[in-house]
Amino acid sequence: MYLPDLSLIRSSPSLPNGVQRLAVGWLEQGQPHSTGEPSTKVLARLTLFKEVNLYFGFHVCDFCGNAAGNGEIHVWGRDPCLFVAPVMIHHYMSEHRYQPPEVFLRAVLEGPSPESKSYEQFNYWYAEGGWEDVDFGLEASPPNYEFPIADTADLYGS
């Protein structure tokens, strides 16, 4: 499944929180994508994200046929927005020098770590659609998370 980087994935109209879901890394042979040396910091952090939405099925690397994975990873960025990338993105970057857009690289390093409570809170807030329900402790506003600013040198390899 090819999707141009940063294309908008239609959200369910029933979700009032207005989170934009943006596609990153849905590559396909013959379709254009940027390349460059990957950052070891970005690659290390990417391995922490657990795959979700496994029902899209098994996907074999279109470029070498040597790697396969299924599912997506969810990376929270500023505003907040949700980047949806295939699990294979790590392979694409490390083996095929795929370079995702800078906003995504920043989100990987600056967004809440998948092992953190904040990440869990973002997912919960998103899943609940931003409905405010005081009785159940649900908040209409996104979790309070201060996005740090990563050093640009950490976003790219050398």
State the pairing for strand pair 20-23/81-86.
Answer: parallel
Q: Report the run of H or E that residue 89 belongs to, with start and end.
A: helix 89-96
CA dihedral 48, 90, 45, 25 (to 10 degrees): -100
Which CB, 62 or 128, lies closer to Zn ion? 62
State the pairing for strand pair 20-23/58-60.
Answer: unpaired
Q: Least CB distance from residue 132 to Zn ion, whole Å?
A: 45
Does the protein bind Zn ion through residue 59 (CB under 5 A)?
no
Structure tokens at 118: 């904040």
Does the protein bind Zn ion through residue 131 (CB under 5 A)?
no
Options 6, 61, 103, 138; binder of Zn ion; rule CB under 5 A: 61
Options 1, 64, 117, 124; binder of Zn ion; rule CB under 5 A: 64
Does the protein bind Zn ion through residue 2 (CB under 5 A)?
no
Give me the residues that bind Zn ion (CB under 5 A), please.
61, 63-64, 67
